[in-house]
Amino acid sequence: MHKMNKIQMLEFSQKGDNRGHLVIVEGEQDISFDIKRVFYIYGSDPKVIRGQHANRESEFVLINVAGKSKIKVKDGVGNEAIYCLDRPHTGVYIPAMVWKDMYDFSEDSVLLVLASTHYDPGEYIRDYGEFVREVSK
């Protein structure tokens, strides 16, 4: 399958009741991978662009558990798409070897990221030219 077609919005089950909302994301069940790492990004100025990298190994699911942000994804061979994250029960799945820019953070944005790997700076590609070279190999 084409890499851009693997990127998809996910709807997670909600178990809300009169006490409030509860959203469930289970590794290898609600998402395709086992969750090895969780991090979250907040307090980013709306003018900031984060990410600006691709990962050789890691797959991610991004969920704006509060507020809003956008993610632009590129495959390095001319295709790009923008996803708006603005609901706590909705995420976007991003496979490995996709260029990612996160931006347009609302002041209250808390962007939760679930990752398939432990952190390894060596699997990050932070130069767009290098990314294009690697996907074109």
Instruction: Out of 11, 39, 79, 133, point to the residue binding ligand TYD (CB under 6 A).
Output: 39
Q: Decide: 61 and 31 in contact? Cβ < 8 Å.
A: yes
Q: State the Cα–Cα distance between residues 59 and 33, nearest whole angstrom.
A: 8
Instruction: Out of 23, 31, 41, 94, point to the residue binding ligand TYD (CB under 6 A).
Output: 41
Nearer to ligand TYD by Cβ, of 6 and 53: the residue is 53
Under the binding rule (CB under 6 A), the answer on residue 37 touching ligand TYD is: yes
Identify which of 39, 37, 32 has the alpha carbon closest to the alpha carbon of residue 6: 32
Under the binding rule (CB under 6 A), the answer on residue 95 touching ligand TYD is: no
Please report how close the Cβ of residue 86 comes to ligand TYD at its closest, in angstroms.
18
Q: Assess whether 21 carries a catalytic annotation.
A: no
Q: Which helix (H) or strand (E) holds 52?
A: strand 50-55
Contacts with 44 (C-beta within 8 Å, 6 or more apart), sequence order: 50, 69, 102, 105, 109
Under the binding rule (CB under 6 A), the answer on residue 119 touching ligand TYD is: yes
- DSSP 3-state assignment of 51? strand
Considering only 34-42, 59-67, 68-76, 77-85, which stretch makes contact with ligand TYD by CB under 6 A?
Answer: 34-42
Residues found near ligand TYD in the complex (CB under 6 A): 37, 39, 41, 50-51, 119
